[in-house]
Structure 1
Amino acid sequence: SSSSPIPSLSDSSLQQPSRRTSRQASPRPVTRTNEGNRCISAENIYDAVRSGKSAMVTVVDEWLDSYKQSREAGLLVLINFIVQSCGCKGMVSREMLDSMQHAEIIGMLTKEFNEDSVNYPLCTPGPELKHFKAGLLEFVRVLVRSCRNSLIYDEYLFSSLLALLTGLSDSQVRAFRHTSTLIAMKLMTGLVEVAVLVSVQLQTTQRQYDMENGKEARDRAPGRLEELQLQENREELSSMMNVTFRGVFVHRFRDRLPEIRATCIEELGMWLKTNPEDFLNDGCLKYLGWTLHDKVIVRTRR
């Protein structure tokens, strides 16, 4: 498919990172929130995910309200939620977010991470692990679904999140690598689902536009504008999927940790099932082929 999000191995986009993956160095205008409004915090989201007692739609809606007041402050809340979900006691400050690259931020967080402790939320034994993982995946699913009509295309939120997750997934710290890979793979699955919806909308719009061939140009203009917008949205989704596939999946599907390898392959299976037009090709199937020789994953998935 010409619109496939997965480029061939010779594709130049493999060599050049997407312009949307790195934060712009120029300072963005800061929207001051009303001091009287108590916005949702990273701790609030973490507690909701861990306890499983809150409706995730409500949690995401509260966060969306804070993001709409100040996207920088809202992004910071999500970043610190991810950091906390990794079991790291460090915090990312607004100053760090404004003045440092993601690699520098991750470096500072790594220094604050207690390497002696092998326990982190995703490896906690017992029912706590099941509850936390289920809550985390539900949060990611609802986040993508709630943003699919607008914020997913704001060229700030998802590009910033994916850049951070890509950096964390390359960390030597197991907790960072494991947690960020799981979140990134689930984000990718959400993006794939949205891309399929947009493709269907685009096909419908194109058919309607073609059927109106006999009408005057001014009467057909709205349909053409909608078609162009959908094409732009589809291209942006493809760009984000490329970033995630090449930046996270390709490096982690052979990770030394079986849980990370299993997550990558499980999600690849979801992409193949959800969007065979883009993913059912030699470029993606080869990863499944390599995994057939992974005795640990094959044994644990039985």
Structure 2
Amino acid sequence: MPRPSLNTDPYSVILPENLVGLNKGKTAVVTGAARGIGKVIAEALAKTGANVALLDLDAERQAGTKTECEKIGVKSFAYGCDVTNYSRCKEVFAQIEKDLGPVEILVNNAGRNNRKPMAMEGFEEFWAGVELNLKGASICSWLVLPGMRERRDGCIINIASRAGTVNTPFAGAYSTGKAGLIRLTACLQAELAVDGFGDSIHVYALHPGAVKTDMTLPVHADVAERYPAMAEKWRSFHKLFKVLPSVCGQTCAFLSTGKGKVLAGKYFDCEQDISTVVAAGKEGLQGLYDLKVEFLGGLPNDGGTALAIDVKK
């Protein structure tokens, strides 16, 4: 089986010209849409023909994104919304349906990483980070899934992170939230499959790749003073971030069209050539692109059934 190539720029299969009109007339929601990756995702979805609802802490900060989406020729509305506030989200999603129609595509992009060790932040600050990265995506998903089930159609893309799959110092809340988001993605897809929606509603966890954003900037001065060696390591690591945000934006656009359903429920790194991965099929991806635990000696992660077998013996 071929190894996927890695990309720092958009590549052929995800280019906008290959996805034109595939979401024509659909309604897409992008959270954290004011700037960075969220802005690029919104514009990429607009290029597929989707009308785009933009969510961020206030509507004004999204004016640039809204303008760019409208230039493409679609409708776009901006809403001020704290995605961790269930009541506010409920109001906003009801308004989106009035303005644009039922939500058929949701990209949960809002998140943050304060680049602090947990020992230097209070619990409330830590938990606020977990909530933004996990609770916000959960609330938005809960609000759109009933309609998707009713229509038997929909796509949810959760912007995850490599930090959710490895141990990362100075990113405790971020890593915890993103790990939960990756697992939430898999559990939602598994339950959708049980209910017969496995091929019609698809949920993905997408790592945007090594993109330079405000969340990947070097650590703050007080952290660097206390942990100079780690601060230097972070600065060196940051120099390796060379992926264009448009790679993530166009991968979201590709997945939103249903072209990557074999990855539903899985964690995907958008630097990888998605055409190669999709071509592997369900059988080829069995046990891959998932969070998992492995034990010494190849013992299975069976939840206790091995002990039950020993008792019977």
TM-score (ref. length: structure 2): 0.35
More helix, by proportion: 1
